[in-house]
């Protein structure tokens, strides 16, 4: 095998390994259910932060400060799988939490 063939074989192996690593990283990013702030959610959805603010009362989010969005719940809302009443039920504070003072009230 000549120098050129060896070069291209090595190049092909390096490209394959790099692509595999990149694909693994993308899969991990897309399957990890993480918390996002307003800016991150806007970037993830490709919308303005104004859109997030405008729909803040409907998009499921934490009631603590700073506001955070669970990516999977936000996506479900965006796809129409979560309606406003369901989101409101998820955000209700129970009396038990109130008495133990383990909560923060959002907007």
71 and 40 within one domain: yes
Is 64 or 2 the better-scoring residue by pLDDT?
Answer: 2
* Per-residue pLDDT tens over the stretch 23-46: 988 887 777 788 999 999 999 999
Degrees, nearest 5: CA angle 62-24-45: 40
Token pair, residue 70, equals 């669970």
Q: Is the peptide bond preceding residue 30 cis, with omega within 30 degrees of 0?
A: no
- Band the pLDDT of 100: cuts 50, 70, 90: very low
- Band the pLDDT of 95: cuts 50, 70, 90: very low
48 and 86 within one domain: yes
- CA distance from start to end of the chain: 70
Give the domain range for residue 16.
1-32
Token pair, residue 9, equals 């074989």
Helix (H, G, I), strand (E, B) or coil at 36: strand
* Per-residue pLDDT tens over the stretch 41-67: 999 999 999 999 999 989 999 888 789
The model carries a pTM of 0.53
51 and 27 within one domain: no
For residues 67 and 91, the answer to whether their CB atoms sit within 8 Å is no
């Amino acid at each position: 095998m000549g120098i050129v063939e060896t070069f291209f074989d090595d190049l092909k192996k390096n490209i394959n390994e790099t692509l595999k690593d990149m694909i693994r990283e993308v899969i991990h990013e897309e399957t990890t259910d993480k918390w996002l702030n307003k800016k991150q959610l806007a970037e993830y959805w490709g919308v303005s932060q104004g859109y997030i603010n405008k729909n803040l009362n409907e998009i499921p989010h934490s009631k603590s400060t700073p506001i955070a969005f669970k990516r999977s719940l936000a996506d479900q809302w965006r796809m129409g799988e979560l309606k406003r009443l369901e989101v409101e039920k998820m955000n209700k504070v129970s009396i038990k939490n109130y008495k133990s003072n383990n909560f923060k009230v959002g907007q």
